[in-house]
Structure 1
Amino acid sequence: MKVVAVEEHASTEAFLRVAHGLDVLPGDELEMTSMRTVETAPGFRARLVDLGVRLREMDALGQDMAVLSLNPPGVQPYAAADAVPLAREFNDALAAIVRRHPARFGGLATVAPQDPAAAAAEIERAMGPLGLNGVMINSHTGGRYLDEPEFAPLLAAAQAHRAPIYLHPRVPSMLAAYRDHGLPGAIWGYQAEAGLHAMRLILSGTLDRYPGLTVVLGHLGEGIPYWLRRIDNRHAFAARTAGAATPMPRLSLTPSEYFRRNFVLTTSGIDDPDVLGLALRAVGEDNVMFAIDHPYEDPAAAMAFLRATPLSDQQRTAIAHRTAERVFGLAPPGVSAKDTGTPT
């Protein structure tokens, strides 16, 4: 069985050396103090930057390919003047990695939403000359979300260049309520933040303006599949009775229809057959992809889950590689992206 994992974080020594010397935007200090501590730890840093070790690990586990992305939260905690060139430099390095190992690595570009016009230009460059496979955005940027009007150039570029946006979690922008008890990170805050961002895209009417946009959510949908029936029910009630706390745009579809049309889910970090079954029923096998969340999760455990969880052959094939090949334009060995109908 061919296996492609699609939320696999990496970095370079050059990126870390520069980024760790930059001032952090107000409000992002807690997250970046924690992340810089992690990135400085020798064992963890090696797992981010040493691709030779990663390839040997992939070979040992039978993982064919990894779609690499910059370790979160990317360049988003930095001033635009620093973030824009830093994103370009990392994307150049990532594209070089993919060119050296085209059968083993794909790549998701990083962009600086702080400068939406520059981010749009970088999406065009990433999907064109650099030959990358999409873009990763680490949820909010300075507490701002992609449904807000200032980000229209970024979303327009993503749609125009068929760049799927992997909407990755980060520490919530509304930090005060999450500050204690380990809540800001992956225990709870990450999924709450990414789920909020996805729901803003749905309920704001953004996906009516950009119907061709593809948004990828990790962790089997950041909790949204569990709530879809209630979301539809309460949205219809609020629209019918004017019972929403804030004004609601008129939508062309129900919230769940946008979720099924525009979103693709990954298994990153949730090796639970019951949750996977719920996700499959919510969006279908052609909209679920395998991911490990390297280096934060155990690759061996994730691979064992993919192989052992009860699935039909068709479902397992779709999750293991077929959906990723379609969404990210990853050509099977010996086949060009053009031949598969995916964007080049």
Structure 2
Amino acid sequence: MRIIGLEEHFVIEEVLDAWRALDAQWQDLSLRPSTQGEPARRLADLEGERFAAMDDSGVDVQVLSLSTPGVQNLERADAVALQKVSNDRVAEVVRAHPDRYQGLATLATPDPDAAADELRRAVTSLGLNGAMLFGRTRGKNLDDPAFWPILEAAQALNAPLYLHPQSPPPAVRSAYYGGLGDAMDASLATHGIGWHYETGVQLLRLILGGVLDRFPDLQIIAGHWGEVVLFYLERLETIPAAATLERRLADYFRENVYLTPSGMFTQRYLRWATDIVSPERVLFATDYPFELAPDGGARRFLLEADLDQPTREGIASANWERLCAGIRR
């Protein structure tokens, strides 16, 4: 059974330098784990111990993506320059190790037209399999019409966009996640719950704002089993805006959204996800290097799941391969 992990991160020194140079208000809370300690060391490694870690967890292929927050908080010129550097670097390592790596593009959303052009280049010339996006670009949410050129390009290419968590805005962090001590505040605002509320709201804005009616064939990938909102679909149907949409809220998840576990290897979440969106829309991800699955943990999760073998193999890799086969190169 071939296992492909979709949310497997890296970072390059040029991007780290740009993150460090940002004003504090635009710095993401992920800066510290991306620049210090074991995760930082593993992020920078693309041709060393990463292969051993993949083998240890049972992952055959990593789909590489630039770690949070990408280039989305950078100044426009810096973001445009670094998207090309990042994508060329990924394409280079994929060419060197095609049996172990694939890639998702980095996009300079501060310049949506340049980002759309880069997505086309990344898919048609570099062979990358879509892009990873983060919900906000400084003060703008992804559903803002300014970003429609990116979404239009993705739909035309039939290339998926992975919607990844980023830290909530500073005012939200202060109001909702502050006052418990620095370490607790940061954890609560990020991997504890803040990342997931933030990303779930961004996904809902794409639906409730009519963006997925405008781009009905756009395919979004959401990690962490749907970033909380999957578990509230019935409640969310009570939002008045849902009544003006072209489809029921759940239908957008079943027709426009794929889910991954992002290393949250919980069988009951897997059962819920397959029940809500169907097994064909569940993909695989370990969230390397922030989540590790030693001693075959990634493979064991799938082997122990109450799934028939074709469904198991679909989640492991076949669903992703089918999605990639539909990309218009």
Q: Secondary structure at the match of 1:314?
A: helix
- Indicate the residue corresponding to 1:46 in structure 2: 41
Q: Tell me how far apart the structure 2 counterparts of residues 187 and 194 of structure 1 sit (CA, whole Å).
A: 13
Q: Are the aligned partners of 1:202 and 1:259 in contact in 2 as well (CA < 8 Å)?
A: no
Q: Tell me how far apart the structure 1 counterparts of residues 126 and 104 of structure 2 sit (CA, whole Å).
A: 11
Q: Are the aligned partners of 1:195 and 1:224 in contact in 2 as well (CA < 8 Å)?
A: yes
- Do residues 94 (structure 1) and 99 (structure 2) align? no
RMSD: 1.8
Amino acid at match of 1:228: L
Unaligned runs of 5+ in 1: 240-247, 330-339
Q: Tell me how far apart the structure 2 counterparts of residues 324 and 227 of structure 1 sit (CA, whole Å).
A: 26
Q: CA deviation at 1:262?
A: 0.3
Q: Are the aligned partners of 1:170 and 1:193 in contact in 2 as well (CA < 8 Å)?
A: yes
Cα deviations by residue, 1:281-327 (Å, 9 ceiling, x for unpaired): 11111100110000111222333322222222122111101111122
**2:129 is matched with which residue: 130, 133, 142?**
133
Q: Tell me how far apart the structure 1 counterparts of residues 157 and 21 of structure 2 sit (CA, whole Å).
A: 31
- Map 1:140-289; keep pairs closer than 5 Å: 140-173=136-169, 174-180=172-178, 181=180, 182=185, 183-232=188-237, 234-235=238-239, 238=240, 250-289=244-283
Q: CA deviation at 1:35?
A: 2.8
Q: Tell me how far apart the structure 1 counterparts of residues 130 and 264 of structure 2 sit (CA, whole Å).
A: 23
Please identify, of 60-69 and 285-294, the stretch whose mean Cα deviation from structure 2 is larger.
Answer: 60-69
- Indicate the residue corresponding to 2:3 in structure 1: 3
- Indicate the residue corresponding to 1:75 in structure 2: 71
Q: Are the aligned partners of 2:155 and 2:215 in contact in 1 as well (CA < 8 Å)?
A: yes
Amino acid at match of 2:11: S
- Indicate the residue corresponding to 2:289 in structure 1: 295
Q: Are the aligned partners of 2:157 and 2:327 in contact in 1 as well (CA < 8 Å)?
A: no
- Indicate the residue corresponding to 2:12 in structure 1: 12
Cα deviations by residue, 1:166-214 (Å, 9 ceiling, x for unpaired): 0001111333333324321110100000000000001111111101100
- Cα distance 1:14–1:80, how it changes in 2: closer, same or farther (>3 A)? closer
Q: CA deviation at 1:56?
A: 2.0
Q: Are the aligned partners of 2:129 and 2:327 in contact in 1 as well (CA < 8 Å)?
A: no
- Indicate the residue corresponding to 1:22 in structure 2: 21
Q: Tell me how far apart the structure 2 counterparts of residues 80 and 289 of structure 1 sit (CA, whole Å).
A: 33
Q: Are the aligned partners of 2:19 and 2:74 in contact in 1 as well (CA < 8 Å)?
A: no
Q: Tell me how far apart the structure 2 counterparts of residues 146 and 20 of structure 1 sit (CA, whole Å).
A: 21
- Indicate the residue corresponding to 1:335 in structure 2: none
Cα deviations by residue, 1:13-34 (Å, 9 ceiling, x for unpaired): 3443x3245324x6323x2xx4
Q: Tell me how far apart the structure 1 counterparts of residues 235 and 211 of structure 2 sit (CA, whole Å).
A: 21
Amino acid at match of 1:27: Q
Q: In the comparison of the two structures, how many residue pairs are matched?
A: 317
Q: Tell me how far apart the structure 2 counterparts of residues 281 and 310 of structure 1 sit (CA, whole Å).
A: 13
Q: Which has the higher contact order (CA 8 A, sep 6+)?
A: 2
Q: Are the aligned partners of 2:14 and 2:82 in contact in 1 as well (CA < 8 Å)?
A: no
- Cα distance 1:20–1:171, how it changes in 2: closer, same or farther (>3 A)? closer
Please identify, of 198-207 and 174-183, the stretch whose mean Cα deviation from structure 2 is larger.
Answer: 174-183
Q: Are the aligned partners of 1:205 and 1:249 in contact in 2 as well (CA < 8 Å)?
A: no
Unaligned runs of 5+ in 2: none
Q: TM-score, normalised by structure 2?
A: 0.91
Q: Tell me how far apart the structure 2 counterparts of residues 58 and 79 of structure 1 sit (CA, whole Å).
A: 35
Amino acid at match of 1:192: Y
Q: Are the aligned partners of 1:203 and 1:249 in contact in 2 as well (CA < 8 Å)?
A: no
Q: Are the aligned partners of 2:154 and 2:218 in contact in 1 as well (CA < 8 Å)?
A: yes
Q: CA deviation at 1:6?
A: 0.6
